[in-house]
Each structure stands twice: as structure tokens, then as C-alpha cells.
Amino acid sequence: EAGVAQSPRYKIIEKRQSVAFWCNPISGHATLYWYQQILGQGPKLLIQFQNNGVVDDSQLPKDRFSAERLKGVDSTLKIQPAKLEDSAVYLCASSLDWSDITSTDTQYFGPGTRLTVL
Amino acid sequence: SQKIEQNSEALNIQEGKTATLTCNYTNYSPAYLQWYRQDPGRGPVFLLLIRENEKEKRKERLKVTFDTTLKQSLFHITASQPADSATYLCAPHRPDGSGNTGKLIFGQGTTLQVKP
């Protein structure tokens, strides 16, 4: 079974530029997550999708971050314009079905994209 | 607000010893608690899950305990090996009021270094 795929693995940009990350979850997984992980911290949830709908985007800085999962499969996360404090690893994860109350929501993570904003 | 705390300092132990990592939580009553392992440059990998009605869970050399009174989980690695060196994240959660699974909240992780 293929895991969660992410690209690119690394990205270096200047502040105020834009950047996009792509994620392809495990086949059949209804729930997709984007996390931001700053060095020395645990992953922080930015946005959660259930199929192609947004479940939680309460911690997404909506003035500069956007995300979509149009067909309920792969997803893109965009930052425009980037700030220095956006330097972090952006992790994508998927789980089978978050809406199933009997689920324990074990999440499967991709390798992440390391973003450096100069 | 909900708060998850793990040992912020790295844990250095000798090969063959038992490593014990701590996860404390406040303002929270999780139904489950998950432990993940994260290697440098990689995403977290699920290791174990323990439910609130379970005191202890084992998997090979790993053991997790869950004390809802103390609001604490302990993660043990017995007969530790250099290959166990990594950052370990705890993530408690509970189903939300809407009947969904709820949201994982990750601790900051504890880095374990096992020396040969």
C-alpha cells in the first residue's frame, strides 16, 4: 500500500513570495490533514478535510493561507504572501474516516515539505 | 485551554536500559491517547494507542500506561537500542460532541538518544 505522498520535499523562497504544496493521501482515506511543525514543536493542525469539505480550519491564517481538496482526493496548501515565521515543515496526513465515532483516527503522515522563508 | 506537556529536554540513556517518556495533559479528558515516533526529516509514524479504560498496553518492547486520575501517560521502551533514537510524540483525543472522532492534539515531543 502506497503511503502519503508530498511534494516538493524542500522549498526556499523570499518573503512575500507565494508557494504551494501538494499532497496525495492513502487511497480510500476520507480524511486529510495539513499540519505545520515548527522546529522543536509538535505538529499543529492547520486544516482538516472530510472528503472535499472543510471540517476544521480554525488555526489556518486565512489572510495568507488557503487549501483545497476539490475532488476529495489530493490536496494543495498555498501560502501567499509568505512571512519569515512561516518557515517550518508542512506535514500532510490522512486517516480512514474521522467521522466514524468508532474510529480511533490513527493518522498516516507524509514525509513533509521543509519551507525556508528568507 | 487544553495543554499537552512532554519532557522538553532530550533523554539520553545507555543501550539496554529502559527509556521512560512522560506525557501530561491538563484541561482535557481524552478517550484515547496515541504515541507516534518521528525521525529527523520524516513524518510521524503511529506506534501505539491506549484507551481511557485501559491501564496498560504492550507491543513488543513498547509499553504504554494511561492514568486518567494523574492525567498522565508513560511510554516505556525496554532493552533500548540505538535504533530507538528518535522524537516521540504523544497525542490525546476524544470524540467531539457532534459524534465525530475529534481532533488529535500533539505534544511537543521528547527526543530520545540511546548510546551504544
pLDDT, tens digit (0-9, with 9 covering 90-100), for B26-66: 888 888 899 999 999 999 999 999 998 998 999 999 999 99
Per-residue cell: B105: 492534539
Question: Considering only CB atoms, which chain B residues are within 8 Å of A114?
Answer: 41
Report the candidate in B111, B73, B70, B112 with the shortest Cα–Cα distance to residue B92: B73
Is pLDDT at A1 greater than 70 in this prediction? no
Determine contact: B10 vs chain A, CB below 8 A. no
**What is the Cα–Cα distance from A41 to A57, expressed in whole angstroms?**
20
Report how many Cβ contacts below 8 Å link chain A to chain B.
59
Neighbouring-strand partners of residue A93: A33, A109
CB–CB of A4 and B103 under 8 A?
no
Question: Considering only CB atoms, which chain B residues are within 8 Å of A42?
Answer: 4, 89, 91, 106-109
Is pLDDT at A38 greater than 80 in this prediction? yes
Report the candidate in A112, A103, A113 with the shortest Cα–Cα distance to residue A50: A103
